[in-house]
Amino acid sequence: MKALVTGGAGFIGSHLAERLVELGHRVTVLDNLSQGNKLTQATLERVELVVGDVRDQETVERCASGCDVIFHLAALLGVDLVADNPVETMETEVLGMRHVCRAAIEGGARVVYASTSGVYGKMAVSEAVSEDVHVSPRSSYSIAKRFNEMYLAAQHQEKGLESASLRYFNAYGPRQDSRMVTPRFFAQALAGQPLTVYGSGGQTRDFTYIDDIVKATVLAAEKVRGCRVFNVSNSREYSIKELAEKIAALTGSASPVALVEAPPERYDFEVERRFGCSDKLREAVGFAPDTSLDEGLARIYRGLLAGKDGGER
């Protein structure tokens, strides 16, 4: 298989590219490196890295030429980055998807798209959320993600484009950007600083280990046909306070967990509960997550102790 991974120098994209070359596939990575380059040296030596922008149609078409699958991950994300750059966030999503679809249709490729559990918005849930519920995205980021899911459906109807949109639930693992909650708690614990939790800390999330995210993404590329939308989740709910406590205990840190006032409205801490049901993906491709939160955190910690941010696989 020949694959293009947009955003392939990022956290998820770099792990995905690594896995694809391990599987013997030929991989081109297209990334503007705006968030740095998380590809390991070993992977860099086995992929073609094109430094360029998904908002540029000619670049996307050149990179996608001859590809069987386009994994479309390039995006701006993170609460602050999105709030500070709403237009670039939307442009990257919407123009990037337009160019990816065009290239895929011309070249006969399938698309696997990195969507988000953020499309469920502030929905009150009492059980793991399934894909069938009515979504209500709120930020420019998640609105654009939902727009792209719908655009892919339209391109399927009009042009026969095949795609899988994957709603990732809180990916975590080695090499994740330090702005995100799990690496931030590790850094605070190891520096002996308080682990700062916003609000009550009772808000829950569904932490999905990077290897499970990558496994689901590869399975979707291999097995999904037509035009489908799937949750990718660990299907377990943990509060942010529990996550902080687990990391403090794991690292043997004396740092306290400190509850601090939630910052202004731009933050999504008011989403009280979010966890996903990935039964639909299990039925379609046989996906089941392998890595519990405790095991995933332990792997990150062993990687940090060994001095390799790459952690263990």
User: Which of the residues are catalytic?
Assistant: 141
The half-sphere exposure of 57 on its side-chain side, counting CA atoms within 13 A, is 8
Q: Which is nearer to ligand NAD, 75 or 220 (CB)?
A: 75
**CB burial readout 184-194, b (16+ within 10 A) else e:** bbbebbbeeeb
- How many binding residues for ligand NAD (CB under 6 A)? 26
For residue 258, how far is the Cα from the chain centroid? Answer: 27
Neighbours of 125 (CB within 10 A): 18
Binder of ligand NAD out of 32, 188, 251, 253 (CB under 6 A): 32
Rounded Cα distance, 68 and 219, in Å? 14
- Per-residue binding string, ligand NAD, 236-275, x by CB under 6 A, is ----------------------------------------
Question: Does the footprint of ligand NAD cover residue 212 (CB under 6 A)?
Answer: no
What is the DSSP-derived secondary structure letter of residue 227? E
Q: What is the nearest approach in angstroms of ligand NAD to the Cβ of residue 157?
A: 24
Q: Tokens for 303, please give them.
A: 């990687």
Q: What angle do CA 39, 214, 224 make, to 5 degrees?
A: 130
Q: What is the nearest approach in angstroms of ligand NAD to the Cβ of residue 177?
A: 5
Rounded Cα distance, 275 and 127, in Å? 8
Amino acid at 308: K
**Which among 5-13, 122-130, 240-248, 264-272 is the span making contact with ligand NAD, rule CB under 6 A?**
5-13
Q: Which is nearer to ligand NAD, 138 or 259 (CB)?
A: 138
Interface of this chain with ligand NAD, residues 149 to 188, rule: CB under 6 A: 168, 170-171, 177
Can you give the binding site for ligand NAD, defined by CB under 6 A? Answer: 7, 9-13, 31-35, 53-55, 73-77, 92, 114, 116, 168, 170-171, 177
